[in-house]
Structure 1
Amino acid sequence: MLQEVAGIRIPDTQLAKDAADILREHGDNLLWNHSNRVFLFGAVNVRKTKQHYDLELLYVSALFHDLGLTKKFNSPDLRFEVDGANAARSFLQQYQIPDESIRLVWDAIALHTTPGVAEHKEPEVALLFSGVGLDVMGDGFEQFPADYREEIIKAFPRNNFKRDIIPAFYEGFKHKPETTFGNMKEDIVKHFRPNYKNKNFCDCILHSPWTE
């Protein structure tokens, strides 16, 4: 395990090591490298604001944020973000972590695909969101220090990430496309199934059981 990348210390507590082992066991190299880049991007980003945050909680959030895509933690009917958040909560509860810290991690994971909300919450939540946005869509690419960016990618390579992440997302929720209603992952379903239609919000209102 690397000890430091881009000036960020990789957490090496037993909790952090155990979290890394879970991702290694149930994820793959795509999720491993992506999750670590997300952590590092978020941790570097906080230097701009100098906010106080918990490095270990951010690390665990990053490692678990896409575990809901894996067979081990994928439910039949919940959003994959919630599956990952629930897995992180169960994991942290084994270590007598304070409830407030567990809630932060749960929120960070559950909201990591929810723009307009996550970035306005606590630092751990906002930092995970920013790290995901940078790695997946390049949000803030030009503002991120190029030398740190290259060091992070060298440590955790992208390896055709743009090509592979979309089908990886789809594999995680193709059996429950209805869970993408109202969130950006609906675009993933439509990428593979162009004729797919989720329920429509206006129809939900107009066809509700209310008489007026």
Structure 2
Amino acid sequence: MPHTRFTDGATELVASCSSAPLFNHVVRTYLFAASIGKKLGKAFDEEMLYLGCIMHDLGLTEKFIKDARFELDGADAARQYLVDNKFPEEKAEVIWDAIALHATMELPERKRPEIALVHLGAFMDGGMNANIFPLSFFEEVFEEFPQNGNKTHFIELVANVLRKKPHTAYLSFEKDIGVKMVEGFPTVNYCDIKPNYPFNR
């Protein structure tokens, strides 16, 4: 993991306001993101990728819950931290994009590596594309940064946010249209998805 005054400061910030499962998740996100990038032969800025990964869930912490979707609250908080600490503004904007888009499907993968990899790393921690690495790779990561019921904890954190601001739950308007307009439209609830990947802790 890269060590600069920006990454060390961001790690300290995140650790100070995150639960242990959430902190482990954002660290694993970086480890997975960097590994995916290297496997795919992507050229990326390690410092920027780390900053995007380590701060991508700030919007789920009590300190940074504001009025927008949690991804945007987190992106705003990360950019503010970086700009306040004299990080180059053009790079801070890339990190804002990475965090704002990390929970969106398809879109971030069409963006520059630092943006795409934050998304891919975060979703790999939920099992997506886990088949590109051997089980031993995940076991090594989880040994150092345990999951500790990560999915259940994540659902609880998001539910906490939605209790405070339910208006941000419109994340997929397409699903709403499908339910209302398409007879027999199949719906899948994230909370009910059974993992089909080689790890679930």
- What is the deviation of 1:130? 0.3
Deviation at 1:202, TM superposition (A): 11
Q: What is the match of residue 166 of structure 1?
A: 155
Matches within 5 A, 1:51-200: 51-75=42-66, 77-136=67-126, 138-183=127-172
- Give the number of the structure whose residues are more often helix, by fraction: 2
Secondary structure of residue in 2 paired with 1:85: helix
Distance 1:162 1:202 in 2: 26
Please give the root-mean-square deviation of Cα atoms over the aligned residues, in Å.
2.1
CA distance in 1, matches of 2:125, 2:40: 20
Aligned-pair distance for 1:177?
A: 1.6
Query: Secondary structure at the residue paired with 1:174?
Result: helix
- Is the contact made by 2:21 and 2:149 (CA closer than 8 Å) also made in structure 1? no
In the other structure, the counterpart of 1:25 is 16
CA displacement, residues 54-106 of structure 1 (integer Å, 9 cap, x when unaligned): 1111111111111111111110x211100100011011112322222111100
Is there any run of 5+ residues in structure 1 with no aligned partner, and where? 1-9, 188-197, 204-212
- 8 Å contact 1:69–1:173 — kept in the other structure? no
TM-score (norm: length of structure 1): 0.78
Describe the SS at the equivalent of 1:52. coil
Identical aligned pairs, as a percentage?
Answer: 36
Deviations 1:149-191 (CA, angstroms, capped at 9, x unpaired): 221111110012232221122112321121121339xx9xxxx
Deviates more, 1:85-94 or 1:173-182: 173-182
Cα distance between partner residues in 2 of 1:163 and 1:37:
17
Runs of 4+ in 1 over 6 A off after TM superposition: 200-203
Which structure would you say has the larger Rg? 1
Q: Is the 8 A contact 1:68 1:74 kept in 2?
A: yes
Question: How far apart in 2 are the matches of 1:40 and 1:183?
Answer: 29
Q: Distance in 2 between matches of 1:28 and 1:98?
A: 29
Gaps spanning 5+ residues in structure 2: where?
A: 181-201
TM-score, normalised with respect to structure 2? 0.82
Bigger mean CA deviation after superposition, 81-90 or 157-166 = 157-166
Q: Secondary structure at the match of 1:97?
A: coil
What is the one-letter code of the residue matched to 2:3? Answer: D
> Which whole-Å CA distance do the structure 1 matches of 2:140 and 2:26 have between them?
15
Q: Which amino acid aligns with 2:64?
A: F
How many Å separate the matches in 1 of 2:149 and 2:171?
A: 28
Distance in 1, Cα, partners of 2:135 & 2:38: 15
Q: How far apart, CA to CA, are the structure 2 residues paired with 1:125 and 1:171?
A: 26
Q: How many residues align?
A: 179
